[in-house]
Amino acid sequence: MVTSGMPPKLPALTLPALLEMKRARTRIVATTAYDATFGALFDRNGVDLILVGDSLGMVIQGRRNTLSVTMEMMVYHTAATARGVQRALLVADLPFASAPDPDTAFRNSARLLSEGGASMVKIEGSGYVLDCIRFLTEREIPVCGHLGLTPQSVHRLGGFKVQGRSDLAARAIVDSARAVEQAGASLLVLECVPVAVAAEVTAALAIPVIGIGAGAACDGQILVGYDLLGLDSGRRPRFVKDFLAGRDSADAAVQAYVQAVRSGSFPAVEHGY
């Protein structure tokens, strides 16, 4: 039999598979990508979840925050990334002001799935957002929540700051996480919260919790793809590690990141709050 010489197509990861990883205590490896080349790099080296984040406003466009990212930009970058992804679950951010109500959230989410090729959307916050999460999941659009430091709330929060330091703020995060799960979310990203708060949230929820700056107790970890390759702006948050340092290729760096998350050696104590 003549073959094309192309590598075998790997089975795509699904949401039930990620849930089973949580149950089996197999750490989930995630990163961001914004185009086909980086999507393929992370996908072929074993990353489980690839997020097309509105962080592209800062990483790609050089802006101070994510607020200027539009739906058109998100659809474009999601579609580009999808062309490089074979195995990983592809998640796309709903950008700032794209989900002010359930109907609008549905229209924009449907675009990210139908035009962009995503398998899931991510939405920041709680409160009124819970109605959007419920509306989307009832209409077969999987949702990933996002709590803690929510970049779209940068002005209200007064900057990119660790959240949940006080007992009251910590309790609010735990309660919001439960509410996001109850509304129908299948995953939760927890960003920049104290290690103890992240551990409590992870233990409280049946759905996988993906941490960034939230310690090692989460079910998985995510880093911005550029950050894990050492391609940062020079102002490196404490939760970031350069996995390219001391290695001779981007593939080797991603493999090291995957191994470090799976083994639990990353994040270490020095990467948490």
CB 21 within 8 A of CB 28: yes
Q: Dihedral of the CA atoms 81, 112, 105, 121 (nearest 10)?
A: -50
CA dist 269 and 273 (Å) reads 8
Marked catalytic residue, from 20, 115, 181, 191:
191
Q: Which of 142, 71, 136, 81 is nearest to 105 (CA)?
A: 136
For residue 191, indicate whether it is catalytic: yes
Q: Which of 231, 270, 188, 189 is nearest to 41 (CA)?
A: 231
Q: Which of 150, 91, 88 is nearest to 116 (CA)?
A: 91
Which residue numbers are catalytic? 191
